[in-house]
Amino acid sequence: MQSVLSAQDLAISFGSNHVLKSVSFEVGQPEILGVIGPNGAGKTVLLNILTGILKPNSGTVHFMGRDIANIKITERVRIGLGRTFQIPRSFENMSTYENILVGGVYGDNIKEKEAGRQAVEIAERIGLSSHINTMAGRLGLLDRKRLEIGIALASRPKLLMLDEVAGGLTESEIADIIKIVKDIKAQGISVIWIEHVLQTMIDGTDRVMCLAEGQNVITGLPQEVMQSKIVNDVYLGVDEDE
């Protein structure tokens, strides 16, 4: 399997809080890699390292064969690392359309005209066509989560990182999201998908990795990982609040 991203021995701590001690994994091209782990395991921290918001204390990340340690946040988007935010961070005083435009114009360096055409298509794909001129601040949570995906897609990522886009959704909405993500993969885009919702991991991913105690404790086929003793121990060891 050819990999689009490979991380080796990533470690990061905040003071005495050693959030990641040694995390290593690869993402295939294309592949949907699910990431699970208890609250506070460091899943979001991991995304922040990959996108350049946080610097790891040690370890390396290769993206399409290239060490990206010295690549700036803004440049990482342009070379194809797209992400969504766990708590949606759309631009509130801008419309759905303008939000997606930002993704294209700044995240992919394309002309506004082309980004505009693309934004209309993307709005359709994420089911926001009817809200295309609505200010993002007036969208509901579900729509804002969709918009997160839309903005990221507009930057034409080669690897899309989703941080809990399905939390709090109904079953049919979850099915919608799974379909959207599978469509994304069908276009040749790899996905890292962080989620607590089991159904998304079982139905929506190719492999699942579990993060716990600062390490990737197990990685494998979704069913295997979900039923493994390790994962059960990890989740039994903490208070479930999902």
Partner 1 sequence: MKTLLENKTNTVKVGVVIIALALLVTLPNWGTRGMIPIFTLIMIYIAFGQMWNLLSGYTGLVSLGQHAFIGLGGYALAVSSERFGLPLYVGFIMAAIVSFLFALIISVPIFKIKGVYFTICTWVVAHSLGLFLSTLAFVNYAIGINIRATFRLPTSTIYYVALGVAIVSVLAVYLLLRSRFGLGLMAMRDDEDAAEARGVALYKTKLKCFLISSVIMGVAGAAMFMNLGFILPASAFGIDWTISMVIIVIVGGKGTIEGPIIGAVILVMLRQWLFDFPGYSMLILGAIAIILILVAPKGIMGLVHRFTGAEFFSVRRRPKRITEPK
Ligand X SMILES: Nc1ncnc2c1ncn2[C@@H]1O[C@H](COP(=O)(O)OP(=O)(O)OP(=O)(O)O)[C@@H](O)[C@H]1O
Non-local CB neighbours of 78 within 8 Å, separated by 6+ positions: 107, 108, 109, 155
64 binds, among Mg ion, partner 1, ligand X, none (CB under 5 to 8 A by kind): none
| Residue entry with tokens 């197990």 | 218
Distance of CA 111 to the CA centre of its chain: 26
Minimum separation from the CB atom of position 44 to partner 1 (A):
13
User: Nearest to residue 133, comparing CAs of 89, 98, 90, 88?
Assistant: 98
**Among 22, 57, 58, 74, contact with partner 1 (rule: CB under 8 A):** 74
Buried b (16+ CB within 10 A) or exposed e, 163-179: bbbbbebeeeebbbbbe
**Among 7, 31, 37, 44, contact with Mg ion (rule: CB under 5 A):** 44
| Residue entry with tokens 């579900």 | 142
Minimum separation from the CB atom of position 148 to ligand X (A):
15
- Nearest 5°: CA angle at 84, between 174 and 89? 105
Binding to partner 1 by residue 131, rule CB under 8 A? no
Binding to Mg ion by residue 96, rule CB under 5 A? no
Binding to partner 1 by residue 71, rule CB under 8 A? no
Binding to ligand X by residue 209, rule CB under 6 A? no
CB-neighbour burial class of residue 116 (10 A; exposed 0-12, middle 13-18, buried 19+) = middle
109 binds, among partner 1, Mg ion, ligand X, none (CB under 5 to 8 A by kind): partner 1
Per CB under 8 A, contacts with partner 1 among 84-103 are: 85, 89-95, 97-98, 101-103
CB 154 within 8 A of CB 122: yes
In the complex with Mg ion, the residue whose CB is nearer, 8 or 86, is 86
In the complex with ligand X, the residue whose CB is nearer, 13 or 130, is 13
Distance CA(231)–CA(208), nearest Å, equals: 11
Minimum separation from the CB atom of position 237 to ligand X (A):
14
> Among all residues, whose Cβ is closest to Mg ion?
44
Q: Given the rule CB under 8 A, which residues bind partner 1?
A: 51, 53, 73-74, 77-78, 83, 85, 89-95, 97-98, 101-103, 105-109, 112, 116-117, 119-120, 123, 132-133, 151, 155
